[in-house]
Amino acid sequence: MTPWCGVIEAFRKFLPVTDQTPIISLCEGNTPLIQATRLAKRICPQADLYLKVEGANPTGSFKDRGMTLAVSKALEKQARAVMCASTGNTSASAAAYGGRAGLPVYVLVPAGKVALGKLAQAMAHGATVIQIEGNFDQALSIVKDVCVEEQFELVNSLNPFRLEGQKTAAMEVCDQLGRSPSYHFLPVGNAGNISAYWKGYKEYRAAGQITQLPKMMGVQAEGAAPIVRGHVIDHPQTMATAIRIGNPASWKLALQAVQESSGTVEMVTDEEILVAYQALAKEEGVFCEPASAASVAGLTKDSQAGRLPEGATVVCTLTGHGLKDPDIAVNISPKTRTVKASRDAVFSLLQI
Ligand code: F0G
């Protein structure tokens, strides 16, 4: 068996690289597609449910698929530095891949609204981390200006290479399932990923690898749901900080994906997200970050409303690893107990 060498090598013929492109890879991709039978029995008994576990990527999120290509292309064109705005995961991924490429990395994040694990990653990989007293949308607008003036490479999903790399996730899902799913649920923030998946599915069909296309089902958090509401949200709010975005850069592309595929964009409350987040961890052994669980929250809602047909094959993308945001997990779980180091004390706590 040839070893897995990352998404550029695996999907080279679908990607804009040449023999001259220096490939910066951490062997991203090839993430598990796990069948979730226990969860399906409870939330969507009429369907087969699979989880695409993108937290298994090298920096713990799907961003690595796009970052390998964006940073490789930045190096190819001899960019001076790479820069991004981020709710956390993009900054972690840019820092890792940029560091590996030997490029300076600058990241702008909303102060106090980035999960600890993500901040730790960007810092550990040596990026210059700048926290702004504002939100992601403001950070992105500043970063766009700086990149033009300083001729830095912008590695947000406005960079077309990011979406090119991320589309490989859809292709992998088809390879793993042996066909395309009928429904694909994804959390939506800056709206790049849902657009990338749709591109991937369409290109795979054009290449004769699949015959059907899934319905693309985007899920936003209720307090940060500009696409669902049809207008920019100036002060987006949600505890799912990864998708706390009020003016998504790929808004139009995402709407196009949803319309062309006869899918939907819907919103779920923070409570619904947390219910799904806990169910995934407890019932399926899959620890994702809160934003990721929005996909399963959306599925739950659609299934309960009778919108999911009998026999559907559903994939939910779980975009980031639960360890990114340890504070949430600790805060919403029952407190742990500390007792004397004795057998009796321990036995007294066992519920058997
Ligand atoms: N899930 C997670 C864990 C994310 O980090 C993001 C986006 C999304 C979902 C939404 O994906 O933006 O393509 O619609 N995070 C970006 C960041 C904004 O800066 O890390 P999207």
Consecutive 10-residue runs of the chain (352 residues): their mean pLDDT?
93 98 98 98 98 98 98 97 98 98 98 97 98 98 97 97 98 98 98 98 98 98 98 98 98 98 98 98 98 98 98 98 96 94 95 74
Strand order in the sheet with 153-154: 128-132, 105-110, 82-85, 153-154
**226 touches ligand 1 (CB under 6 Å):** no
Token code pair at residue 242: 């990864």
Residue with the smallest CA separation from ligand 1 atom 12 is 190
Indicate which atom in ligand 1 lies nearest the CA of residue 289.
3
pTM score: 0.97
Phi-psi region of 339 (alpha: psi -120 to 50; beta: other; left: phi over 0): beta
pLDDT of the residue at 1:
76
87 C-beta closer than 6 A to ligand 1:
yes
The distance of Cα 45 from the centroid of its chain, to the nearest Å, equals: 26
**Separation of CA 56 and ligand 1 centre (Å):** 15
Q: How many contiguous H segments (helices) and E segments (strands) does the chain have?
A: 15, 10
